[in-house]
């Protein structure tokens, strides 16, 4: 059902865990299955310098989270904001159609973190 790359990211997820020194934490949950994800970002001068995640979900969700963290580390917030769940699925070599919604968790948590970060910066400046 899953290709080798997905299985690799599921069984050996990259950047997994908490980040106490994170500048912002993004969260997302799936209405479809109840699974959840948290993403932790360290940001310096609008660039993601470190990223970690915790996902309570299926294999596809964990693989997508792991892949997304690899894709956005080192990117500017502007670049990271353009990463979609389809991009993550493509980078994984594809997900079974029934599992495409699982890749939303990672992309949604990332968007949530970036939006919260921008909101926080705005309120500090105001």
What does each C-alpha distance from 9 to 81, 82, 126 come to in angstroms?
A: 22, 22, 42
Which position among 102, 105, 109, 113 bears the catalytic label?
102
Which position among 1, 7, 33, 90 bears the catalytic label?
33
CB of 9 to ligand FES, least distance (A): 14
Nearest to 41 by CA among 57, 20, 62: 20
Residues that bind ligand FES (CB under 6 A): 30, 33, 35, 57-58, 60-61, 102, 105
Q: How far apart are CA 108 and CA 97, in angstroms?
A: 18
Which residue's CB is nearer to ligand FES, number 77 or number 102? Answer: 102
102 is annotated as an active-site residue: yes
Residues known to be catalytic:
33, 102
């Amino acid at each position: 059902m899953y290709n080798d790359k997905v299985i690799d990211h599921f069984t050996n997820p990259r950047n997994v865990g908490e980040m106490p020194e994170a500048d912002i934490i993004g969260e997302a949950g799936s209405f479809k299955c109840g699974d959840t994800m948290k993403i932790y970002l360290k940001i310096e001068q609008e660039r993601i310098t470190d990223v970690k995640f915790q996902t309570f979900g299926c294999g596809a969700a964990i693989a997508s989270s792991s892949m997304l963290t690899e894709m956005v580390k080192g990117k500017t917030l502007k670049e990271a904001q353009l990463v979609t769940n389809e991009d993550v699925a493509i980078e994984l070599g594809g997900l079974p159609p029934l599992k495409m919604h699982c890749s939303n968790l990672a992309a949604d948590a990332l968007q949530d973190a970036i939006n919260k970060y921008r909101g926080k910066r705005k309120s500090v400046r105001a």
